[in-house]
Structure 1
């Protein structure tokens, strides 16, 4: 059985979450997520992502994938149970009830994921003929 490094796992997850193609608008949005986590915190950032996921179109779909990616990451890392990661309301309630050390670990996990999404979005956008 091979063991993967955490950054390998995060890079693969980010690659699965990003749409094709990565447009300039999406690249900008992905770049903002790690900053938003740092300035506003995990719960507020997740609420923002969940709100933006409502609606139609590529942007809403991209936010839905981000929200799902966050839920999956927190669940697989044992920071949320299946019931707590069931939907946006459950996630927000669970985040509000987490002990501070667990909340900080969850925030670090999501920051690492969104940082990889931002990096990969930059790389994929630069490979395209958009500019």
Structure 2
């Protein structure tokens, strides 16, 4: 806010000071605020026409069965507690995939097992058509 003071006559000793307020900046600020509100008001009151999807209740679906395949130190396999020879592993996994295609096959290997045995188990699981393979 600007204040200006002037005297009626510089030669008079009893000159009185006159104060006047410059209101031009106040008017400028008010006009800017008016323009902002005029532009923003239609945006805030506008609505969008939306067609939101309706939520359907979830179906109570049973979780898929889980089967454990372990690779032993000697290269043999244990499928869900039963020993399986390396040559019949593919047939056992094909049978499992045919009975329940959603089965989760958890493949775990002994820390001292050969990597080739683990890779064979993963390859056989993939070739059998099982989609849910978990490596442990």
User: Could you say which TM-score interval applies, normalised by the shorter chain?
Assistant: under 0.3
Q: Normalising to structure 2: TM-score of the pair?
A: 0.22
Q: Which has the higher strand share?
A: 2
The answer to which structure, 1 or 2, has the higher relative contact order (CA under 8 A, 6+ apart) is: 1
Q: Which has the higher helix share?
A: 1
